[in-house]
Structure 1
Amino acid sequence: MNARSRTGSWVVGARRTVVELSRRRRAWSGAVREALVARTSHARDVLAPITRTVTPAGWAVAVLAAVLLVAAPLLNWGELLVGGVFLALVEAIAVLFVVGRQPVAARLDLTRERVIVGERANGFLTVSNPTTRRSRPMVVEFPVGAGRAAFELPALEPGGEHEELFAIPTAQRAVLDVGPVTAVRTDPLALLRRERHLSRVDTLYIHPKTLRVEGSAAGLVRDLEGQTVPKVSDNDVAFHALRGYVPGDDRRHIHWKSSAKTGTLMVRQFEETRRSHLLTMISSRLEDYASDEEFELAISVAGSLGTQALADGQQMSAVSSLASLPARSAQQFLDGLSGLTYDWQARRLVEVARRLQGDEQAASVVVLCVGSEVTVTELRRARQHLPVDTRVIAARCVIGQEPSLRWLGDLAVATIGRLEELGVAVRRVAA
């Protein structure tokens, strides 16, 4: 290896380390933030009327005024007393700007409540004055996810209305709370800020990109009406054979005609049948992915297979590394995927496979959607905890990788580099 190759490898390794540390920092800060919010919820509720009104600048002025008023007599310094009184008066005058009512009503309308990543999402904000007196100019705000939109409204005549059109960025998959619309009253120095909610909260679901996978129903999942499998059962639909009665057998399955001919009790046996049931397991563990793009690809793969199965009328279940995902309908399933993020408590793939519930264990096909950091050894160990008669497919999402298929016993490992290659992978597995 020449010097240039070694330098390039070192740069790539350093860049990957920086990205990994950044992603770990985000996961750790999210966990700490959740813990702090939970521990301080009661204290924040008690102090909310004050903390919601006084801004950081207002707190600074109030603290400085108190310090000056205390220090003035101790230091016998008249100028400090003047400064403290002046700041206290400024704070008191600011109160006059925020008292009173905001006599306006607002309505927030989203043109669409569900969009796909990259699609346009627009909305309308309508503010009206239902009173008999003219309203003052004001600022109206409403949160959009972690961001905030603000509009300066003119004075409204009695019965007047004002409408604003706004667009919401949809570059990333997310579940965004839009609203509530808030009328804001503040003083010229922004020491105090009083808010009044004018509307309810709307939710915008930004669904992951999905595509239609032709032939997935025929290739990956057994027939909807139930197809017999080579497993004998004592209670099913497809008749298989007769056997001798054993104490404890259900007497309803005794075949009386054969029993009369042979002189001994004979019991019916059946071949077990199953309805089509697809289970998608999506890893939400940060360490399983080399980049955020891999995580998004894994979610899109799971979303494409799941929505296709539901469209074909098959039973479908979905789980992440920590919890089950709603999957009664395609819309509900995509809504759940929209809010799926890394979880700092996420378990390893082997532990997720070990802790599946009864309904999920009954799946006829299991698709493991993982990233490039999940090793073949981990996939094999996870396969050992799934039922032997269940078809298991691992979809390893590796950005930029050429599509390929590898068989490890009865485990199919399909490598997918782009969402558009999912159909190729499905056809290879079904072949």
Structure 2
Amino acid sequence: MSAPLSADDRHRRADTKTDARFPTGTAGPTNVRARLVGDRTGPLADLLVVLVKTLAAVRRGLATARRSASAIVTPLGWTVLLIVPVGLVGGYVLGWVELLAIAVAALAMMLFAAVFLVGRSAAEITVDLPHDRVAVGQSAMGEVRVANPTRRRLLGVRVELPVAEGLLEVQLPGIRPGDTVTESFPVPTDRRGVMRIGPARTVRGDAVGLVRRVVEWTTPREVVVHPATIGIPSTSTGFVRDLEGSPTRDLAPDDLSFHAIRDYVPGDERRHIHWRSTAKTGAYMVRQFEQSRRSHLVVALSLARADFAADDEFELAVSVVGSLGGRAIGDGRDLTVVVGERTPDFARRKTLAVLTLDTVTRTRLLDGLAVVERADSALTIADVARVTGGQVTGVSVAFLVVGSTTTLSALRSAALHLPLGVEVVAIVCDPDGAPGVRRLADLTVLTIGYLDDLRQSLARAAAS
């Protein structure tokens, strides 16, 4: 392990940024363009990028057209439609009566199936979701209600309700006049994210399955699945300097924590003159204070795929950010939560920017964390710290949340990009590693394997 850096060494390294042991994380982009042409420029490279973008656009257009065409005619229906011209032409040219009979039968089937598309169902369909937000693993149920407001019996009602990646199908043989049928369904909460529910739709079609008519009855609903979080003690002890906490070592002419008496110099305010000491010494003496700063926490989460070995490490990291942010919001502290932006697929240069999540309330923070995802082209933790250090002012404590593949040199490089005097705490999420606390100059490294380890690791770091 490298020897701890002194404050002078830290600033010298931060200014020059030439030490090979501390990568700055400002290498070129890792987006689609970089994988195609690397760092090459010129007409050929641009032409290759244009061709790839064109093929992607054509592929998206074909997929949209296929979905639109399949909305009414099923794949079996398209097959039957293809048989009609082939059978008519082939039977006429070759003189095969059998082919003509098959073509006529296929045409009759399509015409008969088209009859089922006429008309509109009189059912009323509603979807009820008791909760719009749930935590990972929390049980959540929804209900779909089908009502018959008419005076006649509804026959053969088929309801489809997309639920996240699945599809709920309700086949009702009949609904009497004035009756309502309710069907419950579970909302998947095994993974954080935004689960799209609906729209509820009725499906009409023929018995063979050649055509179908879909009528949407509701608008899509969303259920936000928040990451798992735990309650942790107040972040005041050990890390955060506040009015009610420990003062800093910076001296100030006016504050709450008295430090010493010094000689008066022109410009000092007269109200700070200590008259008793002045009477004893015969010269003006003024009070001097230790500066107290209101705590401003920064929690930085890396979204770079290279900073995490697996998805479970990243999910643990998101839960750590939610737990730290929720505690800070509950304490009423100034909080900034940032994640690295990703570089667009065909950008020539890396996008050096961070996305600041909403921290007005705990719910808004968890809403933002529910949708963050890893990306190959996202900024590494060193770049996230570099951008954050230049944009966020008045920081007292910075938490850097990463995975097991982030090296110690990368963490020290990230710490160097933050202003002097900031307490930097790196939290390494490694389910296969042993929990531990390491102190390296102005950097504290906490390794946790489970979310519950966060509470004990913070307490141990504060005690040290």
SS of residue in 1 equivalent to 2:392: helix
- Letter matched to residue 200 of structure 2: V
State the shift of 1:353 in Å.
Answer: 1.9
Question: Is contact 2:231-2:323 (8 Å) kept?
Answer: yes
SS in 1 for 2:228: coil
Match of 1:401, SS state, is coil
**CA drift at 1:224:** 6.3
Structure 1: which 5+ residue stretches go unaligned? 1-27, 29-33, 246-253, 259-268
Q: Superposition RMSD on alpha carbons, in Å? A: 3.5
Deviation readout 1:193-242 (Å, 9 max, x if unpaired): 221111222221222221111142333333267976455899x9789998
- Say whether the 8 Å CA contact 2:301–2:381 is kept in structure 1: no
Match of 2:180 among 147, 156, 161: 161
Q: Counterpart in 1 of 2:41? A: none
- The aligned residue for residue 384 of structure 2 is 352
Q: What is the CA distance between 1:338 and its match in structure 2?
A: 1.9
Aligned-partner Cα distance in 1 for 2:366–2:200: 27
- Look up the match of 1:324: 356
For residues 327 and 411 of structure 1, what CA distance do their matches in structure 2 show? 25
Contact 1:107 1:126 (C-alpha < 8 Å) held by counterparts = yes
Deviation of 1:243 (Å): 7.1
* 8 Å Cα contact 1:215/1:427 also seen in 2: no
Change (3 A) 1:372 1:94: same
- Structure 2 SS opposite 1:219: coil
Structure 1 residue 422: Cα displacement: 0.7
Residue correspondence of structure 1 range 22-421 to structure 2 within 5 A: 50-223=69-242, 229=248, 274-322=293-341, 323-356=355-388, 360-421=392-453
Distance 1:388 1:146 in 2: 48
Name which of structure 1's ranges 105-114 and 295-304 shifts more when overlaid on structure 2. Answer: 105-114
Using the alignment, how far apart are the partners of 1:357 and 1:100 within structure 2?
64
TM-score (norm 1): 0.77
The residue type paired with residue 447 of structure 2 is: T
Contact 2:124 2:149 in 1 (8 A): yes
Label 1:213 to 1:68 Cα distance change in 2 as closer, same or farther (>3 A).
same
1 or 2 for the larger relative contact order (CA 8 Å, sep ≥6)? 2
Query: Conserved in 2, the CA contact under 8 Å of 1:289 and 1:373?
Result: yes
Secondary structure at the counterpart of residue 216 of structure 1:
coil
Residue 387 to residue 182, structure 1, CA distance change in 2 (3 Å): same
* Cα distance in 2, alignment partners of residues 213 and 52 from structure 1: 51
Match of 1:261 in 2: none
Q: Percent identity?
A: 36
- Residue 256 of structure 1, CA deviation: 9.5
Matched letter for residue 177 of structure 1: R
1:411: how far off?
A: 0.9
For the residue of structure 1 that corresponds to 2:369, the secondary structure is helix
1:226–1:275 Cα contact (<8 Å) kept? no
Counterpart of 1:339, as a letter, is: V
127-136 vs 292-301, greater mean Cα deviation: 127-136
Question: Counterparts of 1:363 and 1:136 in 2: how far apart (Å)?
Answer: 66
Runs of 5+ unmatched residues, structure 2: 1-34, 36-52, 273-287, 342-354
Change (3 A) 1:324 1:35: farther
Distance (whole Å) between structure 1 residues aligned to residue 98 and residue 236 of structure 2: 83
How far off is 1:130 after superposition? 2.3
1:142·1:150 contact (CA, 8 Å) conserved in 2? yes
Counterpart in 1 of 2:457? 425
Provide the rounded CA distance (Å) in 2 between the counterparts of 1:358 and 1:106: 53
- Secondary structure in 2 matching 1:386: coil
Q: What secondary structure is seen at the aligned counterpart in 1 of 2:367? A: helix
**CA 1:272–1:38: 2 relative to 1, 3 Å:** farther
TM-score, normalised relative to structure 2:
0.72
Worse-superposed segment, 44-53 or 398-407:
44-53
Opposite residue 201 of structure 2, the aligned amino acid is: T
Distance in 1 between residues matched to 2:396 and 2:102, nearest whole Å: 77
Give the letter aligned to residue 315 of structure 2.
E
* 8 Å CA contact retained: 2:303, 2:380: no
**Partner letter of residue 63 of structure 1?**
L
Give me the whole-angstrom Cα distance separating, in 1, the residues matched to 2:196 and 2:56.
Answer: 19
CA offset digits 1:42-69 (Å, max 9, x no partner): 7777887644212222222223333333
Counterpart in the other structure of 2:6 = none
- Rounded to whole Å, the distance in 2 between the matches of 1:331 and 1:124 is 25
The verdict on how the C-alpha distance between 1:370 and 1:343 changes in structure 2, with shifts beyond 3 A counting, is: same
**TM superposition shift of 1:40:** 6.5
Distance 1:299 1:155, change over 3 A: same
Measured in 2, the distance between the counterparts of 1:67 and 1:271 equals: 92
Q: Please, which moves more after superposition, 67-76 or 194-203?
A: 67-76
> How many residue pairs were aligned?
381
Q: Given residue 171 of structure 1, which amino acid in structure 2 is its aligned partner? A: D
Answer yes or no: is the 8 Å Cα contact 1:231–1:271 preserved in 2. Answer: yes
Taking the aligned partners of 2:69 and 2:101, their CA distance within structure 1 comes to 26
Distance 1:120 1:352 in 2: 36
**Deviates further, 72-81 or 129-138:** 72-81
* Shift of residue 344, structure 1, vs aligned partner: 3.7
Task: Measure the CA separation in 2 of the matches of 1:362 and 1:62.
Answer: 70
Deviates more, 1:418-427 or 1:190-199: 190-199
Q: 2: CA distance between counterparts of 1:181 and 1:36?
A: 34
